[in-house]
Structures are given as structure tokens and as C-alpha cells.
Structure 1
Amino acid sequence: MTQQHTSPWPYPRLVAHRGGGIMAPENTLAGFRAGVAYGYRAAECDVKLSADNVCFLLHDDTVDRTTNGHGLAAGLSMAQLSQLDAGGWKGAQFAGEALPGFANVAVYCRAQGMLLNVEIKPCPGRDAETGRLVAQEAARLWAGAVVPPLLSSFSVEALHAAQLAEPDLPRAWLVEEIPADWQATLQSLACIALHCDHATLTPQLAAAIKAAGYQLLCYTVNDVARAREIMAWGVDSVCTDRLDVLQPAQWLAE
């Protein structure tokens, strides 16, 4: 059964991974500023919950890799998280960059006309809670926006909670390798898109997904030739770390 969507895919072909890819510390406002500087009109970021249920940006379950702090993110309040240096690991020029709250990112992106793919990234055991609260916050922060944020997640439980909380927000299911039952899962979550690792995609799978009426995004594509190859298969957008290599201007006339 083919999905029927009321509007075309509104997101551009190139999406900046974690805000600014490798050009700035991931999931920070510095990253989003880099995306804007390179001409990107869309970015992806990871959103999870602090110990006091504030939505903020971080990929990992711990703060060790991308901040000067230590320990589980789920055990820290937003006040504690905001004191961490989330930029110094990337270079002295980024020292003091904060872990941003989701609300701060929304203000910046809306002001810059930057569209957003929000990956719901639950801490262990908080899938449903994170899906619900991130969806509710996204609906509030983008109220009245022409193009709402696209909610995605590897967690079916989180996406289902987002679906129940804010059914009007668009959703995408994230997978590494596309499973045999991909269509049933997309239908159950009322998703508009499937997001997958580009290395696991085949022309046949891409054709089947597009024929079923879904949009298709691939991550993390850092090579122009590969981006063009999979786009020829029907891929709608690619998420990239190499903002300096995949230049949006290259695709504007296409």
C-alpha cells in the first residue's frame, strides 16, 4: 500500500551531521554556526533528557568524549550539564562552548532558517519518556513554523511515544541495516521516511522504499561521488560530516 503525503519532502538534499559535522564540536551552537557558514539549510542533532527532564543536545550516554566532564548524562541536571566545556576537545578556539538546551537550538535554527532533523537519543531505560518529552518540546518550540522538525530515532519505543504525544510532527525510523519488515514498522509508526546507513543500501531496496511512497535519507555520506550515486537511486537527502566537501551550492541548480 502506497503512502499518501500531503506535501513534498521539504528538506534539502544535504544535511549537516550533528550540527556542523567535523568543522566544529558536535551538537553545539558552534556546530550550527558552522553549518550556516557553509551554506547548509538543514542539520541533524541528537536530543536526550537531563536528570531533571530538560531536553538538551548530546550523542553519547556519557559526557566523557565530548566534554570535560565525566559520568552518565542521565545523572546530571541541566544546571550541571551547562557548566561543562563541550568545545575544548575540538580545539582551543571552541573552549567554553556549552552543551546547548534544545530550546536554544530551536531559537537559533528558526532565526537562521535552518531546518532540523531531531534524532531522539534516549539514555538507557528512558525511551518512552524521552520520545514523549522531546516531541512535546519540538511541537512547542516550532509552533507555527512552515516546516516542522523531523523526528527520528533508532528506538521504536521512543518514536511510538512521540507519535502518541504529537502525531502531527513528521517521523522517520533510523536503522543501520534495513530489516525485512521495514514497511510494517514504518506503517505502524506512521513515518514519512526511512533513514539508513548508506553502506547497507542497495539500488533494489531504495527502489522498493520509494515505490512504497516513503522518503529516504542516508548517513553518513562524506564523498561527492557516493552522494550522487545513491541520489540517482532515489535517495532524497544525505547527512554528512564533510561540510567542506559536500557544498550545498553544488546541488542548488539540480
Structure 2
Amino acid sequence: MTVVNWPYPRWVAHRGAGKLAPENTLAAFRLGAAHGYRMFECDVKLSADDVPFLMHDATLDRTTNGHGTGGDKPWSELSLLDAGGWHSRAFAGEPLASFESIARYCLRNGHLLNIEIKPTPGTAGRTGKVVAQRAAELWANAHTPPLLTSFEPDALAAAREAAPDLPRGLLLDAMHPNWLDIAQQLGCVAIVCNHALWDAPTVARVQAAGLRTLSYTVNDEWAAERLTALGTDGIITDRVDLFSPTA
């Protein structure tokens, strides 16, 4: 699948508002929007009872007052956790965000979403399927669909089977063998990789294949300027306070 008319803005707010608010929470999305961002990246995984919710880590300890593996617990337990107090007193009591609550916030406000499918280890296929199905249902009447991305090819394959019309992107933290072939086999429309991996030949190769070039996580002006000069298509940043999304 090649996206000729790319519908997404160049600048994307990482996990809602980067490090200015507790990541992957509704509070972070609201703060990112207050800085003018209209597209957000977030991490989505499954609870033990298959409720999609936002969290980057496999474990709860870093970003909540809970402990253990998030995917091992039901949503009824996860929904009671404090996902803001670790960040600062101002956000104490901020709950974990369900995927549905974030989706409805974005849809009501005309915001766009990059959904990183972030499976608990061993659940790639199930997570890709459930997240893609729910995204397809929520965005059924939307003008612009969410962009589904993952480091896990199995998650993207399951997402493709469950919701073939939703665009997909392969995330990379290294240029492992056959990365472009894998992306094409999965019907991806984009490669999303560590910004340091892009160089002129790699950008040209991806664009010649009809895919878009996105970068994470770009927090310095020199890096953003380099990516702009290379002609890349999208920048995911924590620094919603530094970079204007209209630049």
C-alpha cells in the first residue's frame, strides 16, 4: 500500500506531550494540544481481559504506583492506579488512559493518532488483532485513519489481517537484514526509525519504494534540521515546548 496523499502532519507529539506531563495519559494529550500539536503518538497494549490501554513499559513500576506486568492484570485493577504521581505533584492521581478514552478525545477534537502497538512479551499477534479491530471500529466514520506502527512484525501482520484498510508502519531501532522487504511484505506505508539511522541513501531507498520516512525521538534542533535537509516526512518529539508543529 502506497499513500500518495500523506494525510499526517510533519510534527508528532511523543506519548502526548513528551516529558512535560505523565506519558500516555489524557493529561499529556491535553497539554500537547495546548502547545498546538494535532497529532500524537502513544503506546497501546492489552490488559489481562483484553482491554486496550496506554502504557510503554511491560511493567507498571516506572509510570504508576502499581507493580508487576500490566498485561497480567484486569482493566478493573489497572484503571484504579495513579499514573501521574511519579511525574510530579501537579499530576498526582491521573489515571491510566484506556485506548477508547484517548481515541474519543482525538476524534472529538479533530486530532490524529499514531498508535504504537506495544505488546506485552508473548502477545504480539493478539495485541495487534485487538488494537486494530478496535481502532477500525472507533475510526469507522473518520476522515483520516490512525497510523498503526510496531517493532513487532507479528503484531503488524495480525493488525493487517484484522483491519487491512488501516495504514501501518514498521518501527526500527536498527537496520536489521531485510527490514525493507519485511515492511513491504506487511503492506506498510512508512518506516519509522531512530532518527540517527537516516542518511541520504536510506531515505532515497525508502522513498523510491513508495514509503514515507518518519523519525523518533527528535529533541534537538540540529537533529530536526538534519532530517529536514534529508527530506524526511515526519518527526516525533518530546519537545513540544521547543518545536512549533506548524514550522
TM-score of the two chains, using structure 2 as the length reference? 0.97
How far is the alpha carbon of 1:224 from its aligned partner?
A: 2.3
Could you tell me which of 231, 234, 237 is aligned with 1:237? 234
Aligned to 1:13: 10
| CA contact 1:59–1:121 (8 Å) conserved in 2 | yes
Aligned to 1:23: 20
Alignment RMSD (CA, Å): 1.1
Could you tell me which of 219, 225, 228 is aligned with 1:228? 225
How far is the alpha carbon of 1:182 from its aligned partner?
A: 2.3
Confirm whether residue 197 of structure 1 aligns to residue 201 of structure 2.
no
Tell which deviates more after alignment, 115-124 or 229-238. Answer: 229-238
State how far apart, in whole Å, the 2-side matches of 1:224 and 1:180 are.
Answer: 31
Give aligned-pair identity as a percent: 53
State how far apart, in whole Å, the 2-side matches of 1:58 and 1:4 are.
Answer: 30
Confirm whether residue 185 of structure 1 aligns to residue 187 of structure 2.
no
How far is the alpha carbon of 1:179 from its aligned partner?
A: 2.9
State how far apart, in whole Å, the 1-side matches of 2:147 and 2:171 are.
Answer: 12
Residue type matched to 2:190 in 1?
A
Moved over 4 A (4+): none
| CA contact 2:61–2:68 (8 Å) conserved in 1 | yes
| CA contact 1:28–1:100 (8 Å) conserved in 2 | yes
Residue type matched to 1:109 in 2?
C
Tell which deviates more after alignment, 225-234 or 108-117. Answer: 225-234
How far is the alpha carbon of 1:202 from its aligned partner?
A: 1.4
The number of residues matched between the two structures is 247
Could you tell me which of 16, 19, 31 is aligned with 1:34? 31
What SS does the aligned partner of 1:23 have? coil
The runs of 5 or more residues in structure 2 that have no matched partner are none
State how far apart, in whole Å, the 1-side matches of 2:165 and 2:228 are.
Answer: 28
Aligned to 1:98: 95
State how far apart, in whole Å, the 2-side matches of 1:4 and 1:170 are.
Answer: 9
Residue type matched to 2:212 in 1?
Q
The runs of 5 or more residues in structure 1 that have no matched partner are none
Could you tell me which of 41, 64, 84 is aligned with 1:67? 64
How far is the alpha carbon of 1:4 from its aligned partner?
A: 4.1
| CA contact 1:210–1:234 (8 Å) conserved in 2 | no
TM-score of the two chains, using structure 1 as the length reference? 0.95
How far is the alpha carbon of 1:183 from its aligned partner?
A: 2.2
How far is the alpha carbon of 1:114 from its aligned partner?
A: 1.1
Report 1:1-254 matches (<5 A): 4-5=2-3, 7-249=4-246, 251=247
